[in-house]
Structure formats: structure tokens, C-alpha cells
Copies of this chain bind each other. A is one copy, B any other.
Amino acid sequence: MNIKIALINPNTTKSMTSRMHKAASPLLSDKVDLVSLTAPYGASSIEGFYDEIFAVPPMIEVLQPLAAEIDGVVVGCFDDTGVDALRTILDVPVIGICQAAMHAASIVSHKFTIITTLNCSVPAIENLVTRYGFDKMCSGVRAAEIPVLDLESNTTDAIEYISKKIEQALSQDGADAIVLGCAGMVDLTRDLTNKFNVPVIDGVGVAVKTIEGLVSMQITTSKIAGYAPPRVKYYSGVLERFSPSQN
């Protein structure tokens, strides 16, 4: 059996997709194909509650036609944007990189702090911390105050700003691990781990391997409660093509 995992970047920045793909590829077992996809339209970065909402339709438009051929999905955005909706239209397991990263951190540390990009993203992440059960294990969410796309264009500053927040996390929060709270930070994992000598975790790789695991075991999404297929109905107007129909 071959396993095909879709890694979807909900923003339109293809270079970010490439970097995620490059980070996750070496981790996969031979029987796994990683298909990395980029939102075909929409925002070039997801920063806060508003961007989040509009990140979902392009993901659905890309993934629904692939439903028959993919075995699992990773949403490559730390807000876990659209994960709940995707779980309803797919039978295969779906995970976001935030949930995945927190699972990993909870295995190798007692407490972790999340370093994200901008202050405006902190509340959404704090809501996820509570939602996923990590209120006690998460010792803080700190913003490095660097916009998502600057992570690409200005790696030197990014490392410096993020490092400052890691220092605060270790000295003030009681954290013994760090979670990088943005898909755009995926390249920095190794350097920051070496610099601080604590686990520095990016969710992309963890998420892909988690899905590989669930698929291997044929664990699929429960269809008897909130993740049941959307009830068939007609969406009028420009949303017509998103109308949930009989599969």
C-alpha cells in the first residue's frame, strides 16, 4: 500500500510551501508520497482571525477533488485554519501543525512556550491551546513581532527576534521546550535547537509523520458527531460551487 499525504499551505506563497515540503520530505518512509499544495488564490500570509476565514475556501476547492486519492491531510498553518471543516468533508485524518507541534512538545518536555510572529495572532493560538487541552503544559505564547513574510526575506533578523523570545521563555516562563508558532519558521528549527540546546519544535514535520502513522493504522475521522459529512444543501450565489452534495 502506498500512502499519499496532502500538505496544504492555505496561503498563496509558494516558496513557503516549498520550504515546508523540503523540511518534511526527508522524514517520510518510502511508501509515502507527499503532495504539497498551495492555495490557488487568496492571501499571501495568514495573520489573525480575518485572514483565517478566507484561507478555508481555497483549501476546500483544492482538496475536495482529490478526496478519492489522498490518504490524509496536513494544514500547514499554525492557526489550524479550516481543520474542522476539512474533517467533515474528508474521511481521512486531518491535522493542523499547531495541534501536531503541541503533541510533540508534550512528549519531550514538561512545559513549552510558543513563539509566533505577530501579536495579533496570539489570541487565536491561545484559544487553540485551550481547545486542545494544553493549558497547563503551555507556559506562554509570545510574539516575536515579525510579520510572516519577513521570515523569508530576512532570516537574520528573524532568528534574532525569535531568539530573544526564546530567552524570555526559558528564563521567565519555566519552559523546557519551544514550539515555533508559524509555518514560515520551519527552516529555523535546527539552528535554534542547537543554539539553545532545548527541543525547538516545528509542527510541519510532526504533522506529516502523525498523519503517516494514522493512515498506516487505518484510523479515519469519526463520522458520527461533529465531523459527519455536511448535510446536503444548496449554497446560492458565488458560493454555489461549495454546496455540500451527496458523495
Contacts and interface: CB of A to CB of B under 8 A. Distances in A.
Contacts of A121: 226
A130 interface: yes
Contacts of A109: 221-222, 225, 227
Given A120-B231, A134-B133, A199 B222 contact: yes
A119 interface: yes
Interface residues of A, number: 104
Interface in A115-131: 118-124, 126-127, 130-131
Given A110-B225, A137-B133, A236-B12, A50 B244 contact: yes
B131 A133 contact: no
A57 B53 contact: yes
A29 B28 CA distance: 8
A135 interface: yes
A66 interface: no
A181 interface: no
B216 A27 contact: yes
Interface string A34-76: 0000001111110111111110111010000000000000000
A165 interface: no
A108 B219 CA distance: 8
Contacts of A137: 133
A9 interface: no
24 contacts: A27-B217, A28-B29, A41-B235, A43-B234, A44-B234, A48-B88, A49-B84, A49-B88, A53-B85, A54-B235, A54-B242, A104-B219, A110-B227, A111-B123, A120-B226, A120-B231, A123-B227, A130-B130, A133-B136, A176-B225, A176-B226, A197-B224, A209-B212, A209-B217
